[in-house]
Amino acid sequence: MKSSNETFKTNHGIEIPCIGFGTWQTPEGPIAVDAVKYAIEVGYRHIDTADIYRNEESVGQGIAQSGIERSEVFVTTKLWNTKRGYEPTLKAFEESLRKLNLKYVDLYLIHWPANKAGWEQLNADTWRAFETLYRDGRVRSIGVSNFLTHHLESLLHTAEILPSVNQIEFHPGYMQAETLAFCRTHQIVVEAWSPLGSGCLLENPQLKEIAGRYGVSVAQVCIRWCLQNGTLPLPKSVTPQRILENADVFGFSLSEADMQAINSLPYMGGSGLHPDKIDF
């Protein structure tokens, strides 16, 4: 990728801008509004939020106040765990759409797979609602988040429409190779949440040494590394300088040797949130 104008193309034929602006932990109110407005001002065209982030209203306000045409910005939101199932999903989607003050969203994701007794049926029922929303034109594309290979395999037994995206934790020190390979086989775009390892990677000596040789920050190395691994990074920040820096990753390219060195890093920076073990 050589420009922020480049895109990932989904198996639904939808193009997604290659870097997303994440809003997890960005509080509802002026902070979120201003962060989204600034991100759009400096060139982001992909905004990611979720029901559980509790900032959909502010994200929607930031988009509206940016003055950008709705068709020019790619908006993602996600269904929360307590609202799974066919009818609850349809209701939850309408509430998210109301908060965002939009007529449609570009991508709707199941935030986490169900993992208790009956999880396979619950995921299938939820996905059926997603397919309804897609067929009705309420969403341009549908996908999942935090699904491991066995969750995807189960879903594909009943799905009539293939998920277009799987948004997973992905960063140096945590590559989820099996899930990544499965998604590539099925042409499912992998989006990388926490591409900086929740900030834990920024002081890593090896990454700092690599960044120094390119004259960039460790954050920029991590984001560029995601792109060169064929994943779509979703960095987040509310600091203007970092928002701008996180998108400035097209003036350099990591060498094959540096890519291999980063790929080989031991586990670090992980959130510890395993889809089969979460209890929320």
φ/ψ (deg, to 5) at 128 = -60, -40
Is 214 a residue of the active site?
Answer: no
pLDDT (0 to 100) of residue 3: 83
DSSP string, 164-228: SEEEEE-BTTB--HHHHHHHHHTTPEEEEESTTGGGTTTT-HHHHHHHHHHTS-HHHHHHHHHHH
pLDDT (0 to 100) of residue 70: 97
pLDDT (0 to 100) of residue 218: 98
pLDDT (0 to 100) of residue 2: 81
Domains contained in the chain, CATH given:
7-202+231-238 (3.20.20.100)
Q: Write out pLDDT tens, residues 195-222.
A: 999 888 999 999 999 999 999 999 999 9
| Three-class DSSP category at 86 | helix
C-alpha 92/C-alpha 96 separation (Å) is 6
pLDDT (0 to 100) of residue 241: 97
Q: Write out pLDDT tens, residues 9-40.
A: 999 999 999 999 999 999 999 999 999 999 99
Q: Percentage of residues in the chain with pLDDT exceeding 70?
A: 100
Check 38, 44, 53, 134 and give the catalytic one. Answer: 53
| Three-class DSSP category at 5 | coil
Q: Percentage of residues in the chain with pLDDT exceeding 90?
A: 97
pLDDT (0 to 100) of residue 198: 83
Q: How many CA atoms lie within 13 A of 174 on its CB side?
A: 20
Q: Where are the beta strands (DSSP E) in the chain?
A: 7-9, 15-17, 21-22, 46-48, 74-79, 107-110, 142-145, 165-169, 189-193, 232-234
Looking at the predicted structure, is the pLDDT value of residue 4 above 90? no
Q: Write out pLDDT tens, residues 151-182.
A: 999 999 999 999 999 999 999 999 999 999 99
Name the residue with tokens 């097209």.
Answer: 250
**Rounded mean pLDDT, 232-245:** 97
Mean predicted lDDT score pLDDT of the chain:
97
Sign of the C-alpha dihedral computed for residues 17, 25, 178 and 129 taken in this order? negative
C-alpha 251/C-alpha 93 separation (Å) is 39
C-alpha 21/C-alpha 205 separation (Å) is 27
pTM: 0.97
Looking at the predicted structure, is the pLDDT value of residue 125 above 90? yes
**Rounded mean pLDDT, 128-150:** 98
Q: Are 142 and 161 in contact (CB under 8 A)?
A: yes
